[in-house]
Structure formats: structure tokens, C-alpha cells
Structure 1
Amino acid sequence: MASKVKRLLIGRPLKSNEAQEQKLNKLKALAILSSDALSSVAYGPEQILIGLTAVGAIAYWYSLPIGIGVLILLAALILSYRQIIFAYPHGGGAYMVAKENLGENFGLVAGGSLLVDYILTVAVSVSSGTDAITSAVPFLHQYSILIAVLIVVIITLLNLRGLTESATILAYPVYLFILAMVILIIFGLFQVLTGHAPAHAHPAIGTPVAGISLFLLLKAFSSGCSALTGVEAISNAIPNFKKPAPKNAAITLIMMGCILGFLFSGIVFLAYWYGISPSANQTVLSNLSSSIFGRNVVYFFIQATTALILVLAANTGFSAFPLLAYNLARDKYMPRPFTVRGDRLGYSNGIITLGFLSILLIIAFEGNTENLIPLYGVGVFIPFSLSQTGMIVKWIKTRPKGWVPKLIANLIGALICYLIVIIFFITKFEKVWMALVFIPLVVFLFHKIHKHYLAVGDQLRVDLSHHLNDIKPKENVIIVPVAGITKVVEQSLVYAKSLSDNVIAVYVGFSPEDIERMEKQWNEWQTGVRLVTLHSLYRSVLSPLSKFIDTVKYKTDQAGATVTVVMPQFYTKKWWHSFLHNQSGLLIRAYLVRKKNIVMATVPYRFKK
């Protein structure tokens, strides 16, 4: 039944040689990997205006130079990540750059920051989209957490179905949003050029503003840089592209940068020209749309596509998180299951983990994740800063042809990114201090996992110069715990005798009468196996049995022999039948698992009715 449900939800398993068919072309990749970056158009320009509101609407003209600054940083990031794509074609992005050029800990800081950031991406995006839905349909507000959780579950299932299928479904809302924004910008610019837009709704460029300060401008700039979240996702997901993957990924990155730059600059300019102010009841994008079109079909089309893109921004996390987790797991910093492909050839464990952690975050914050947005921004700009710094080090070390312009681009990007991180910590410390706890904690966990895998490798490594033929097998002492004379015991004894001539059956009785009866039946059965009976005064099977095994183990260690415990175990036909029988076998196995140098074998006997 479970298998049928799984097939219904995620589809038939795919063969390994079908992996190339699951790769993304540029148009699908643009939709599935750029949804986070493109959705930031809905709130990035608004964040700039909110930062300027402290000194009044007269300061809104500063949104234009601030917007230009954001575009300069966007260009630097796009150029940097384009270089990263060709330098590190197997993915990993900021993690790989920082690890190779700055050292292990810097790489882990970048990787850990991005992992946390992708979890926040899903939680914040879905919560924002849910808010848009409940604002349009107010009676659903009481179910907002449930709606957000259901959305995460749906996106998780879509991603489990495979990249191609999820990209095909999710591409439509992304391109509809781009279409809606292009219509808004072109029609708005047309009204400006033809004089139909209000000419005096905005302050003139260069108007003196009392109370303005460099600190406030930098704060507004750092808030506007939230429009750049998700830019790094393509460099993390290069293996998901069709061949030639690096070239296709680079072209997709340029396409995303151009679209994002056009949409962002268009919204910033129109918001300034129409004199749009941030409002608690209406977003800047909604206010701008209604100012240009009124409350007609086009307005509602823009609002609907905006809500969809905010929800689907979560999909960038689902595309990039599993591949980043794969790279970390491949380097032994995360659990090895993250390197395993699922039925649909995606890294299912990464997808499921991201969905689960995002749901926990949504429930923990009751869907109100606004306070996480600054932390979300810090989680993005720390890897941005480290990747830029890593590329600077790489150019200085390698000095390839034409490296100076690349170095300058990375240097400008690094300086701006570090400035933004500093501003975040100075102006919003009460909201981002958690980064100082979470990131070191994640890095510490990475090191503990890595240390474990190194220790496991040292213990499992075989010296091929020591030939297996030269190793003489030890004498094997077999212990078979028996609860009576049954078919299960019979099968186990036959198996035990095939392993060694030295077999001991052990029976634990709760009374002298039980022991006497067992010894009599055993002699009558003529097994050819020695029976040891133990009297348990306190009706415990495990205590006397464990003492006996320990005694045998001590003697065999001195003799250089091996102890094997063969456990008879029956399995019922129906799952609920197992609750009708005692579970002493489970207790014995749990005890044996903790003992050193004891081999444990289970001989199953399956009931037919």
C-alpha cells in the first residue's frame, strides 16, 4: 500500500541512465533557480523606501542613487558568479570558492550560512505568499499556518517528482510574473513619457533633505540589497543543467541578472516618479499597480502573479539546498545519505530535510517570519563576501590572462558586501545576533561529522599488502538462546551447527520445574547440542543470559576464539500480530549490539497464517 501511495505522489522510479533526461534547459532553469531572486522585486524597492521614510517623503529621490548602487553590486555579483561557474563547474558556489582559496573554516561558514539561508528562504517565502492569500481571502487568516505547511508539502512533493517535472509546472507562474512586471513597467514608462503620469508627485532630484545622514542612506541601501537574495543559486546547481552545463549555467545567470536589473530599476524609478509611499495596509507594488492601472483586471493579474512568485521563491531553496548538501556530504561534513539519489534521480534526502526544517520554522514562528528577513539577508551576504574574497585570492595566486579586470570586479563586490554585513550588524543587531550563534554551531557540527568519518575511515581501511589468504580463521563458539522446543529453535540449531561444531544452547528458566522439564525434553529430542540451563530468580531473561555470554566471551578471548550469538526470531504474517508476543529478543539484540567483538546472527522464521 505504501509503495502504491509513493508511486502516486512522486511517480515511477527512473533508471540511472535516464539522469541526462532530468537535466534542465536554460528556460526551465531560469524559472526554477531564479524565482527567489526575481521575487525580491516585490519587496526590495519597498525596503529602500521604508529606510528613507525616517526623514520623510522628500528623501525618496535618494531611492534612485541607492537603486543604482544595488545595480552596481548586482553586476559585480553576476560577473563574480559567472567566473565561479567556469572555475568550479561541479557546483558548490561560495562553499567551494571559500574552502579552496580561504581555507576549510571559511568554506564551512559559507556553506553553513547558505544552508540556513535556504531554510529561511522557504519559510519566509511561503509565509509571505500565505499572507498575500489570506489578505485577499480574509476568512482564511485563521488557517494561515496550515496553508503555509500544505504549500511546503506540495512544493516538496513536486521536487521529489524530479527536476524536469517540477520545472515544467513551476515555470508558468514565474514567467507570468515577469510578464506582469514588464507590462507594469512599460505602461508606467509610457505614461511618464506621454505626460499622463503625475509630474509633481515626487520630490525633485537633488532636493535638500534635513536630517539625512550617510548612516541612514547606508541602512536604506543594505535593506534594498535584499533584492539580491538568490543570485548565488545557479552557481550551486550547475550539475542540474544540460550539457555543456557550465556554459548553460553562465548564460542563465546573465539572463537572470538582466531581467532582475530591468525589473528592479523599473519599479524603483516608477515608485519614485509616482510618489509611492510605504503603507502598512498596501505594498508599494500594489500601490504602484493601482496608480497606473486602477483596480482592474490587470491590477489583479499583477497581484495574483506576485503572490505566486513569492510562494514559488521557495523553490530556489529546494533546487540549491540538496546540491549544496551533496557537496558538503561528499567532503564528509554532512551525513552520507545526502549524496544518495532517490527514485526520481534527485537528492531526495536533501529535499525532504529542507521541507521538514522549513515546516518546523513556520510552526515555531506561527507563520510570522518578518523578523527573520534581516537574518535571511545576513545569511546571503556572508557567503557573497566570502566568495568575492575567495575569487580575489584566486586571481592573485593564479594570475591568468585578463585577471586584473576580474580582480577589480571582485574587489568592488567584496567591499560592498562587507559593508552591507557590517551595516546589518550595526543597525539590526537585535534581529541578526542569532547568526553569531547558529553559524558557529553549524560549523562545529560539520567538524564533528567530519571527525567521525575520518575515524571510521581509519578503522575500516584495509592494508592490501596483508593478504586475506594469510589470515587464519578463529575457532567459532556458537551460543543459541532458546525459549523452548519449537520449529524456530530447530531451524536456528541446524544453522548454528553448519557454522561450527562448538554450539551451546542456553535456556533461562524461572523455576526449577521449568528447567527440569526443558532438560528432559532436550534429552528426548537428541539434538547433539549441549544445553546450558540458567535459573532466573527475578524472572529476567536478559540478566542471566548476558552474564553467561560475558563469561564465555572472557574464556574465548583467552583462547583466541570468536563468539557468535545466533538469535531465533519468528515474524508474524500481519504486523499487528507482533504485539501479541513478548519482545525479549529485541532486548537481547539491543544488549549484544553494545558488546565488542561478538558476532550476532538472526535466523528468521516466517509464519504463513
Structure 2
Amino acid sequence: MKSTEAGEQKLNKKKALAILSSDALSSVAYGPEQILIVLMTVGMAAFWYSLPIAIGVLVLLTALILSYRQIIFAYPHGGGAYVVSKENLGMLPGLIAGGSLLVDYILTVAVSVSAGTDAITSAFPSLHEHNVIIAIVFVLLLTTLNLRGVTESASVLAYPVYLFVLALLVLIGVGLYKVATGQVDPDLHASFGAPVAGISLFLLLKAFASGSSALTGVEAISNAIPNFQSPAPNNAAKTLAAMGILLALLLSGIVLLAYFFGAVPRDEVTVVSQIAEEVFGRHAMYYFIQGTTALILILAANTGFSAFPLLAVNLAKDKFIPRMFTVRGDRLGYSNGIIILGLLSIVLIIAFEGMTEHLIPLYAVGVFIPFTLSQSGMMVKWLRDKPQGWVTKFIINTTGALISFIVTMMFFITKFPQVWSVLIFLPIILFVFYRIRSHYEAVADQLRISTCEEAVPVEGNVIIVPVAGITHVVENSLNYAKSLHAHQVIAVHVPFEREDEAIFEEKWRKWQPDVRLVTLHSPYRSLLAPLIKFIDTVERKAGESNYRVTVIIPQFIPKKGWHNILHNQSSLLLRAHLLYRRDVIVATVPYHLKK
């Protein structure tokens, strides 16, 4: 696609909602269950606490949606938590947010695809032993789809997302109707407000933190504003609001149904599956809900494919990761970011054998660190700029920052064995960021003409041509060397036997009497060592007269690529060694074989 077609790759609100909300919406499938798993430690009587905990999660969701809406208009070029934290809190907090999100998007792909694969293999147990292969195939499909372009991937992925939303809305509607009409046994659930022995504030906070895992992916829209059709900020803000409303409806609906139907977390059956079976029985609608749930769990990975490349672009522009992440591919997507994300997620899936459920806390804390930093950054921005209505905005961000900080701390306190690695990999990532930045700055400083050391004038050129025999390849290279009118052309031959040395010298005198030949006998059969030593000696002597040494390497190119494996690649080894010699110029003269 031409660069001028970039505008055609922008997303409208319907497609953007599907492609950027899949991670957040899919978390409805496991967020309520995470709350119940914690409450179950003190008994089913505590399940009524899931309702006020869900209200708390909805309050946090509201604060996050309002906060990220402000971020969208304040930073319309995208970047989300990284840009906000960098500009308002400083470079280090910005890099912490950016590094956390980069890792989180890799985890998003690995966890989502593995969870979706589990849903499929649960329905077809015979496939369970092939979990890893199936998950890798799904990652490769998503990678390929995203390499085709943002619009194409959105067109394909929108249908399963909207089918999932429709399926859950029908489930919630029918389920609540049955509750309202008395078709549900009241003995299935504990009385609301009933006292529970063993309940504590610590346990409730732990359940709240676990339920907050349903909010992962909320930040994706603010990172991907450049993907929206114009006016991008307005469209992104409306899409964010729509996502917030849908997420709130689905989350509160599932929590209510789980309470009224007395769903209990079990390893072999999910809470959503239990509710669907109670509401519809094991009929077509039940399988439709299970199928769309499995699909959206897999497609939630696409949020990572949408947001990771754009975040990588912002980090690459600031020289903290390789510049290759800023390059658009043939289909105008940031192909390098998409490919790297796919490969790293496959590595995670293989490393954890497709069983990545214990990565969910790490995945969640990787989001709440940027949540906390971005909202703290917005607080600083409002205090500094004081625009109209800044007090209300400040209160919204303060609320979001405090709740996000509490959730982050609860993850560290209650799930430390699962999230301690954050304390290891974040400093490593920051170290790598600064090393890359330092390299780019050093390169720029050395290449800048105004500060670079003065170039030494070249008075002449000495050409060295390594020769393996008397052939058309060598003849071709010598003719090229002579055409450069160098101060001197030296042919160098490395024989392994003394007899071969004398024979070759005699043949050379007859064939190329005007070209000086130097033979370097190698009793240890090493080709490179004597050759490199000779080149270094010539280079030192030439440097005294401001002469440059050029090594011309003869190389024949077979007609077919596979023929290369039938020949020694000594020319490649020699070139690889010489590229790191400071004052030696290396040139390859190819001779193409015809058959």
C-alpha cells in the first residue's frame, strides 16, 4: 500500500470498539470468578460480599474511564500512560509505565490465547495434549492478520466481539428475568448482609484487587488514538465511553447472576458456564455463549497487537528501543512491532506450556502500575496548568490514582509469590532502555559533523586481494583492483604445504607478472590468522603515510542458492573479521556462475 493510503487504514468507532476493547470485555469471563475464588476461602456465605466489591470495581472503572478520556484530549497523538508520566512526572516514571505496558501486552497475547485454547480443549478433551501447538497457531494467525493491516484485522475480528457482547446481554437479561419472576430457588444464595465468620478487611481488599483484573485493557484506546478516523480524539473518547458502559453492564450482570444462581468457582467449569447452563440448560444458546467466550478470549490478544506497536513507536522515537519499531511495513502497519510481539508471546506460551493462568496477577499488576502513574501525572498537569474546570478533573484523577495505588499494593501484598518478578524485570528493562538511549546518543555525537573529529586526508590506497587459486574469479577481482589505480595491488595466497607454495608462485609469475604476490605459509592450516596478521602489518605501515588499505575479496555466486552449501564460505568469514578493523576498507567483487 502507498504511504498516501494511510488514511484509509484508520478505524471507525464500531471497528475500533471491537478491536481495542476485546481485552477489557473478555476479562468479564474471569473477573467475577476471581472475586469468588478469594471469598470462597471463608465459605459460600461470604459470596454476598461480591456485590459491594463489584460496586467498588465499577467506581474504579468510572474513574479510569473519565481519567483516560481526559488523557485522550490532553495527549491526542497517543502514547497513553508513557507519554503522560514522562511529561508530568519525569523520564523515569514514564519509562516504568512504558516498560510495564510493553511487558503487559506480551502477557495479554500469551494469557488470552492460552485461556481461549483452554476453553476449546475443555469442549474437546482429546485436544488437550495439543494445547501449546493450538495456542501457537492462533498467535501466528493473529500476527498474520495484523500484518495485513489494521482495517482488515478489525473487519474480521469485529463479528466475534459483538456476538460475545450480544450473547452475554441475552444471558444477563434472561437470567435477571428468571430471578425477578421467582424462577430461581432463593436457597441457592446466602442472604445479603448476613454476618460471616472469618471475614476481614484484608480479605475484602484482596477480593477487590482480584476483581480489578477485569479492568485490564482499559488503557488501550488512549494508546491507539492515531488509529482512529478524524477527528481522532473525539472518536476515541466516544469509543472509550461505549467500552466503559458495556464493561460495566456485563461485569455487574455476571456478578449479580453468579450471586443469585449460587455459582461456585470450580477448576473444570467456569462461573459463566455454570450460569449459562442454569439459565438455558445445555442447549444451543449454552454452546453459543461458550463458543463466543472462547473466541473473545483468543481475540483479546488483538488488543496487544493494536496497542504494542504504537507504544513501541513512542519509545523508539525517544531512542529507548530500536528505531526499527518506527518503520511501517508494506501494508502500513508497524510490522516489526507486530512480529516481535508475536514471537515473544510464543516464547512465553512454550516456556509455560500454555498454562499461563498464574501469570494473570503479573498481567494485572503490569497494568495498574501505569494506571497509577498516568493518573498521578494528570494530577500534576492540572495543578500546574490550572485550565478551566481543573478542580473537578483533579478530583477524578486523584480518586483514580488512589484506588489504582491501593490495588497495586494489594497485588504485591496478597500475591507476592506471583508478582515478585516485577521487581526484577522492571529494573532490567529500565537498564536496557538507558543503554539503548546511551548508544544512540553516542552514535549521533560521533556522526555529527560539527563535533566529530577532523577527517584525515587519504593520500593513496593499497589494495590487498586474497587469492585461493588461478581462476576467473581471481582474474575478475584483479582487473577491478587495477581499474582503481591504487598505489599498489598485492595478491596474498595462504598455502598449507611448502611444495604447493613453490608451485603456485611459479604459476603466478607466468600468469600475472605485474601483480606482486605474497605467500603466507600456514603450518596449522589456518586461513584467517596469517591473512589478518598480514593485513594488520600493511595497515600500520600504510597509516604512517596516510594511505588506506582496501581488501578486495573475490567471491563466486552460484546460479542456484542451494549450491552455496556445497562450497566453503571463507570469504564470508574473512569479511566478518575485517569489518571490525578500524582503518581497513572491505569490498566484495562477485563473479556470477552461469550453470
Q: TM-score, normalised by structure 1?
A: 0.94
Q: What is the match of residue 481 of structure 1? A: 466
- TM-superposed CA distance for 1:512, in Å, is 4.2
Please tell me the residue identity of whatever aligns with 1:583: Q
What is the CA–CA distance in structure 1 between the aligned matches of 2:169 and 2:96, rounded to whole Å?
A: 38
1:549-574: CA deviation from partner (whole Å, max 9, x where unpaired): 11111111111111111111111112
What is the CA–CA distance in structure 2 between the aligned matches of 1:443 and 1:487, rounded to whole Å?
A: 54
- Asked if the contact 1:160/1:348 (under 8 Å) is kept, the reply is yes
**1:541 and 2:527 correspond:** yes
What is the CA–CA distance in structure 2 between the aligned matches of 1:295 and 1:52, rounded to whole Å?
A: 28
Matches within 5 A, 1:442-481: 442-463=429-450, 472-481=457-466
3-state SS, counterpart of residue 559 of structure 1? coil
Ranges in structure 1 where 5+ consecutive residues have no aligned partner: 1-13
- TM-superposed CA distance for 1:128, in Å, is 1.0
Q: What is the match of residue 570 of structure 2? A: 584
Q: What is the match of residue 10 of structure 1? A: none
- TM-superposed CA distance for 1:325, in Å, is 1.4
- TM-superposed CA distance for 1:287, in Å, is 1.2
**1:326 and 2:313 correspond:** yes
Q: What is the match of residue 500 of structure 1? A: 485
Q: What is the match of residue 365 of structure 2? A: 378
Q: What is the match of residue 54 of structure 1? A: 41
- TM-superposed CA distance for 1:586, in Å, is 2.2
Q: What is the match of residue 174 of structure 1? A: 161
- TM-superposed CA distance for 1:509, in Å, is 2.7
Q: What is the match of residue 9 of structure 1? A: none
1:386-414: CA deviation from partner (whole Å, max 9, x where unpaired): 11111111111111111111110110001
Q: What is the match of residue 424 of structure 1? A: 411
What is the CA–CA distance in structure 2 between the aligned matches of 1:139 and 1:545, rounded to whole Å?
A: 61
3-state SS, counterpart of residue 35 of structure 1? helix
User: For the structure 1 residues 393 and 380, does the alpha-carbon distance in structure 2 shift closer, same or farther, using more than 3 Å as the test?
Assistant: same
3-state SS, counterpart of residue 347 of structure 2? helix
Matches within 5 A, 1:42-441: 42-441=29-428
Q: TM-score, normalised by structure 2?
A: 0.96
Q: What is the match of residue 8 of structure 1? A: none
Matches within 5 A, 1:524-603: 524-526=510-512, 528-603=514-589
What is the CA–CA distance in structure 1 between the aligned matches of 2:263 and 2:71, rounded to whole Å?
A: 38
Deviates more, 1:587-596 or 1:36-45: 587-596
1:270-319: CA deviation from partner (whole Å, max 9, x where unpaired): 22222322223321111111222222211111111111111111111111
Q: What is the match of residue 606 of structure 1? A: 592
1:175-199: CA deviation from partner (whole Å, max 9, x where unpaired): 0000001111111222233333334
1:526-563: CA deviation from partner (whole Å, max 9, x where unpaired): 46433223333333322222221111111111111111
1:153-180: CA deviation from partner (whole Å, max 9, x where unpaired): 1111111111111111111110000000
- TM-superposed CA distance for 1:472, in Å, is 4.7
Deviates more, 1:454-463 or 1:229-238: 454-463
Please tell me the residue identity of whatever aligns with 1:588: L
3-state SS, counterpart of residue 494 of structure 1? helix
3-state SS, counterpart of residue 462 of structure 1? coil
- Asked if the contact 1:290/1:299 (under 8 Å) is kept, the reply is yes
Please tell me the residue identity of whatever aligns with 1:430: P
Please tell me the residue identity of whatever aligns with 2:593: F
3-state SS, counterpart of residue 544 of structure 2? helix
1:123-157: CA deviation from partner (whole Å, max 9, x where unpaired): 11111111111111111111111111111111111
What is the CA–CA distance in structure 1 between the aligned matches of 2:342 and 2:371, rounded to whole Å?
A: 24
- TM-superposed CA distance for 1:44, in Å, is 0.8
- TM-superposed CA distance for 1:227, in Å, is 0.6
Please tell me the residue identity of whatever aligns with 1:130: T
- Asked if the contact 2:460/2:486 (under 8 Å) is kept, the reply is no
1:9-40: CA deviation from partner (whole Å, max 9, x where unpaired): xxxxx222222111111111111111000001
What is the CA–CA distance in structure 1 between the aligned matches of 2:498 and 2:277, rounded to whole Å?
A: 91
Please tell me the residue identity of whatever aligns with 1:161: R
What is the CA–CA distance in structure 2 between the aligned matches of 1:437 and 1:464, rounded to whole Å?
A: 38
User: For the structure 1 residues 255 and 600, does the alpha-carbon distance in structure 2 shift closer, same or farther, using more than 3 Å as the test?
Assistant: same
What is the CA–CA distance in structure 1 between the aligned matches of 2:540 and 2:330, rounded to whole Å?
A: 47
User: For the structure 1 residues 92 and 525, does the alpha-carbon distance in structure 2 shift closer, same or farther, using more than 3 Å as the test?
Assistant: same
What is the CA–CA distance in structure 1 between the aligned matches of 2:405 and 2:452, rounded to whole Å?
A: 53
Deviates more, 1:50-59 or 1:375-384: 50-59
- Asked if the contact 1:481/1:505 (under 8 Å) is kept, the reply is yes
- TM-superposed CA distance for 1:75, in Å, is 0.8
- Asked if the contact 2:463/2:552 (under 8 Å) is kept, the reply is yes
User: For the structure 1 residues 466 and 589, does the alpha-carbon distance in structure 2 shift closer, same or farther, using more than 3 Å as the test?
Assistant: closer
Please tell me the residue identity of whatever aligns with 1:582: N
- Asked if the contact 2:458/2:546 (under 8 Å) is kept, the reply is no
- Asked if the contact 2:147/2:335 (under 8 Å) is kept, the reply is yes
- Asked if the contact 1:132/1:307 (under 8 Å) is kept, the reply is yes
- TM-superposed CA distance for 1:77, in Å, is 0.6
- TM-superposed CA distance for 1:83, in Å, is 1.3
1:362-390: CA deviation from partner (whole Å, max 9, x where unpaired): 11111111111111111111111111111
- Asked if the contact 1:478/1:500 (under 8 Å) is kept, the reply is no
Deviates more, 1:357-366 or 1:197-206: 197-206
1:240-262: CA deviation from partner (whole Å, max 9, x where unpaired): 11122222111111111111111
- TM-superposed CA distance for 1:326, in Å, is 1.6
RMSD: 1.8
What is the CA–CA distance in structure 2 between the aligned matches of 1:554 and 1:465, rounded to whole Å?
A: 23
- TM-superposed CA distance for 1:438, in Å, is 1.2
- TM-superposed CA distance for 1:232, in Å, is 0.6
Instruction: State the identity %.
Output: 66
Ranges in structure 2 where 5+ consecutive residues have no aligned partner: none
What is the CA–CA distance in structure 2 between the aligned matches of 1:477 and 1:499, rounded to whole Å?
A: 10
Please tell me the residue identity of whatever aligns with 1:189: L
Deviates more, 1:584-593 or 1:191-200: 191-200
- TM-superposed CA distance for 1:474, in Å, is 3.4
What is the CA–CA distance in structure 2 between the aligned matches of 1:200 and 1:581, rounded to whole Å?
A: 80
Please tell me the residue identity of whatever aligns with 2:280: F
What is the CA–CA distance in structure 2 between the aligned matches of 1:243 and 1:499, rounded to whole Å?
A: 57
3-state SS, counterpart of residue 535 of structure 1? coil
What is the CA–CA distance in structure 1 between the aligned matches of 2:453 and 2:438, rounded to whole Å?
A: 27
Deviates more, 1:431-440 or 1:237-246: 237-246
What is the CA–CA distance in structure 1 between the aligned matches of 2:513 and 2:109, rounded to whole Å?
A: 64
What is the CA–CA distance in structure 2 between the aligned matches of 1:297 and 1:430, rounded to whole Å?
A: 41
